[in-house]
Chains A and B, each alone.
Chain A
Amino acid sequence: MSGIHVSTKINGDAVEFVCDVEETLLDVLRDKLGMTGSKEGCASGDCGACSVTVDGRLTCSCLMLGAEAEGHDIGTIEGIAKGTQLHPIQQKILDHAALQCGVCTPGFVVAAKALLEKNPDPTETEVRFWLAGNLCRCTGYDKIIRAVMDAAAEMRGQ
């Protein structure tokens, strides 16, 4: 099987890889590039654990082929904290104890960041609907919603 050569940008860095035609972006991130922060929960776009951004747009990396990353700008969980400096969403998730097992957490962080970049002052209902594509089975979402609302307020300077 001949591989496809792909040049892309991930978290601001130029990255090249060779992938098979049927490999998803999630497969490439996890198995080829060692970026295992994005998780496979369903491989069908229903759980959001593999959330990344493609040119700033929230995307399930399990629904996109690796080859489709060519020429795009990919953002993953690994690129959200700046060194040891957490993004406010990450910090608020810790402060609110908004995680239990934590396997869905990277997807929630990526999705919530994408929301707040579009809508810095969301209502609780808007947060709930935006995050409806991310499944969490441990928390009942309560503390996650509170953490995102709190992060939004802090990022607005309130």
Chain B
Amino acid sequence: MARNPDADSAPAPKAVKTSTIEFDADKAKTFKVVGSRPPRPDGMDKVTGRARFGADMVMPGQLVGLILRSPHPHAVIVSIDTTAAEALSGVKSVITRDDFAENADHHDVLCNIMAREKALYEGHAIAAVAATSKAVARKALKLIKVDYQILPHVTDVDLAMAPDAPLLHADMITSGVTPAPTKPSNIAGRSEFGHGDVEAGFALADVIIERDFKTAATHQGYIEPHACVANVGADGMSELWCCTQGHFHVRQVCASLLGIDVSRLRVTASEIGGGFGGKTTVFIEPVALALSRKAGRPVKIAMSRDEVFKASGPTASSSMNVKIGVTKDGHITAGEGEFRYQGGAFAGAPADFGAMSAFACYALDNVKTVAYDVVTNRPKGAAYRAPGAPMSVYAVESVIAELAGEIGMDPIELRLKNAAREGTKSSYGPKFGSCGLVETLEAARDHPHYSAPLGPNQGRGVASGFWFNFGGETCSTLNINADGTVAIAVGTPDIGGSRAAMCIMAAEELGIPYERVRTIVADTSSLGYNDTTEGSRVTFSSGMAVIKASRKAVTEMCNRAAMIWDIPAEAVTWEDGHAKPSGANAGEFEPMSLAEIAATASKTGGPIAGHHEYNADGAGVSFGTHIVDTEVDPETGRVDILRYTVVQDAGKAIHPDYVEGQFQGGAVQGIGWALNEEYIYGEDGRLQNAGFLDYRMPVASDLPMIDTVIVEVPNPGHPYGVRGVGETGIVPPLAAIANGVSAAAGVRLTELPMSPPRVLKAIDDAKVAAQ
């Protein structure tokens, strides 16, 4: 599950050691490296095939691990007989639920990575083998006998909430309801957000629109399947290589599930072939470790694409109602919504994030949102880019567009009249600090795209979106090398070019060229704990740690120069990569460069380094506004995306290429979600499209160029003004495209994906209704 992205409203007590460095407007005027677009440090390895991803590691004596998965969406596991598999030549270990002790801290994770009493979804892991070859491992899986008692299943969120629905967990009592229900259900939790009096607000409205919406479950769709190599020594000392967004989190969960000390497990994050939230938890890693422990040899597990679809963590499907009232002159008087998300077989659907972010773009006197977290017989969901927000914002922004049409107001104008801004009490509680929604709306309104002419069967859609952004536990070390180069270690896996951003920020602070700085992602034994790469936190949090570590190294370099010059340390300043004497009594000395100070470090006190550890606050929210032109073929219902523009507040773009890349990638994932992508279940509860042919992600020929506008409203909680940019980009597209398609088709679409049959049916139904 994603971390709570909003440090201010986190239920946990505030960490003692938090820190921020406030935005420094003067420094921002003199940036030399920040804002440039140098090549990324890992680029050469990635264009030549040299970069090593999860499945690219080989350890001596390595075995192949495979997992046996349930063919049934819901069944009691009566018995598992592994005798024949264990007897097969070449099989070195077989494990089942009996090889993991019960674990109160990670109960759901344990039940998900290896089924206990019941299989809860098609693809749920039942047993695993490690063998000398894939062929032997495959044969061994076939020899495992599992006796299932098949149970009725449910995969739809509304059906799962019905009183007579098949029950997944006999002990699931809905949280957040007073008094607590006496009977178990599939509703894991209810939560509510808002303020004011919505009924009083609706009484003031001239126009009220209420609509029901549905969205299908989608998958993050990272191109690299989950893969890992585990190696447990006879003394219990263990190493794990895996593709993950958070190797420190992997270490903690795996150590707990295996019952070993954290210090006995070293986790190295490989290059990661996409994550988008889907690689923030564990699936195969504890299994590989348990197989390796039993076999006494390294074990590699690499998921197939079929396994990725069926047994990793897609996002929630949703069923929602939204009601908004507005006066004739465009004042929103009240907004209300109910958001029902199913997140698979265990609690944790991001319905609460959906309810919190649904109305975040608006300054409302009266707002109320209710979230239901529901379990079904589907794989347990994981985070997916701004988890929960795209669906709820799709519903709200669809109604906003319809209201604008009803009162005859430009939809950007309606949004500007009601936009959240600094000081607004947000729909989920806290007051917003400095933020850039108004600026994105104004930039969208003034963009040539917004006033370009449209042809027949074409429609333009606009939507805004929001994400909280997150800080979190972070540390970084910066070493000044003897040759004047700089080595940085961070603990946050780089999923989109963040190593380049770290190098830029250090070069800026130290006053040296970008090319002299290198950043690596250190393993869990080489650096202190770091939270996972999630919540759009890395350039903000690890970046600030790098800035602070740089400043500590600068202080030390000034001390060394002072020692050499035999003057007080206070009389030395750092400027353009050099220590310089300053002040009346400092004396006359030639400035010493970083390289000169580094070269003599052995004589002035030894190696020079900077380190910073903290709990990052002040992440700063990010808003965006998207414009899209769509064309609908009235004969087939097919939708083409003709033109697309992303406008988003980045606070400050450290490396603009990769900020644009986040905007473009988020928008295109949103295009897929809006038009094509969906988990399709048969009546048998089995996934019918577990492959890239039938789960249709956007390809190059589906798309136009994705235009971007980077708005920079500095985040006051970061010295350079940085805001996270990774997630907001996927929030507006669902609604923007729905608004464009609805305009082009002449009928309001309220269910995603807007696949050709669904669009065609909506057009035909509208024709029938008009007759």
Q: Which residues of A contact B (CB under 8 A)?
A: 1, 20, 22, 30, 34-44, 46-47, 49, 76-78, 80-81, 86, 90-91, 93-97, 99-106, 109, 125, 127-129, 131-146
Measured between beta carbons, the chain A residues less than 8 angstroms from B272 are 101
B221 to chain A, nearest CB (A): 5
Given A44-B692, A144-B700, A145-B700, also A102-B48 (CB < 8 A): no
Which of B49, B669, B691 has the most CB atoms of chain A within a 10 A radius of its CB? Answer: B49
Partner of B700, one of A46, A49, A93, A132: A132
Q: Which stretch, B313-321, B559-567, B602-610, B660-668, touches the partner chain A?
A: B660-668
Q: What's the Cα separation between A127 and B705 when bound, in Å? A: 12
Q: List 10 A-B contacts (CB under 8 A).
A: A42-B691, A46-B691, A46-B693, A78-B49, A93-B47, A101-B223, A131-B699, A137-B221, A139-B665, A143-B657
What is the 8 Å Cβ interface bit string for chain B, positions 279-302, against chain A (1 contact, 0 not)?
000000000000000000000001
Q: Could you tell me if A100 and B48 are in contact, using CB atoms closer than 8 angstroms? A: no
B271 CB–A CB distance under 8 Å:
yes
Q: Could you tell me if A41 and B305 are in contact, using CB atoms closer than 8 angstroms? A: yes
The residue on A at minimum CB distance from B222 is A137
Q: What is the size category of the interface that chain B forms with chain A? A: 35 or more
Measured between beta carbons, the chain B residues less than 8 angstroms from A141 are 668, 698-700, 703
Given A93-B47, A102-B42, A105-B46, also A140-B693 (CB < 8 A): no
Measured between beta carbons, the chain A residues less than 8 angstroms from B706 are 140, 142
Measured between beta carbons, the chain A residues less than 8 angstroms from B55 are 30, 36, 39-40
Measured between beta carbons, the chain B residues less than 8 angstroms from A80 are 48
- Number of cross-chain contacts by CB at 8 Å: 188
Q: Could you tell me if B664 and A102 are in contact, using CB atoms closer than 8 angstroms? A: no
Q: What's the Cα separation between A78 and B47 when bound, in Å? A: 10
B225 CB–A CB distance under 8 Å:
yes
Q: Could you tell me if B658 and A39 are in contact, using CB atoms closer than 8 angstroms? A: no
B668 to chain A, nearest CB (A): 3
Q: What's the Cα separation between A127 and B273 when bound, in Å? A: 23
B59 CB–A CB distance under 8 Å:
no
What is the 8 Å Cβ interface bit string for chain B, positions 651-688, against chain A (1 contact, 0 not)?
00001011011001101110000000000000000000
Q: Could you tell me if B47 and A140 are in contact, using CB atoms closer than 8 angstroms? A: no
Measured between beta carbons, the chain B residues less than 8 angstroms from A101 are 222-224, 271-275, 495-496
Q: Could you tell me if B49 and A97 are in contact, using CB atoms closer than 8 angstroms? A: no
Measured between beta carbons, the chain A residues less than 8 angstroms from B699 are 131-135, 141
Q: Could you tell me if B691 and A99 are in contact, using CB atoms closer than 8 angstroms? A: no
Q: Could you tell me if B224 and A103 are in contact, using CB atoms closer than 8 angstroms? A: yes
Q: What's the Cα separation between A41 and B658 when bound, in Å? A: 23
Q: What's the Cα separation between A91 and B274 when bound, in Å? A: 22
Given A46-B693, A47-B692, A103-B274, also A36-B497 (CB < 8 A): no
B540 CB–A CB distance under 8 Å:
no
Measured between beta carbons, the chain B residues less than 8 angstroms from A38 are 49
Q: Could you tell me if B37 and A97 are in contact, using CB atoms closer than 8 angstroms? A: yes
Q: Could you tell me if B495 and A36 are in contact, using CB atoms closer than 8 angstroms? A: no
Q: Could you tell me if A90 and B47 are in contact, using CB atoms closer than 8 angstroms? A: yes
Q: What's the Cα separation between A19 and B305 when bound, in Å? A: 23
B56 CB–A CB distance under 8 Å:
yes
B224 to chain A, nearest CB (A): 4
Measured between beta carbons, the chain A residues less than 8 angstroms from B304 are 43
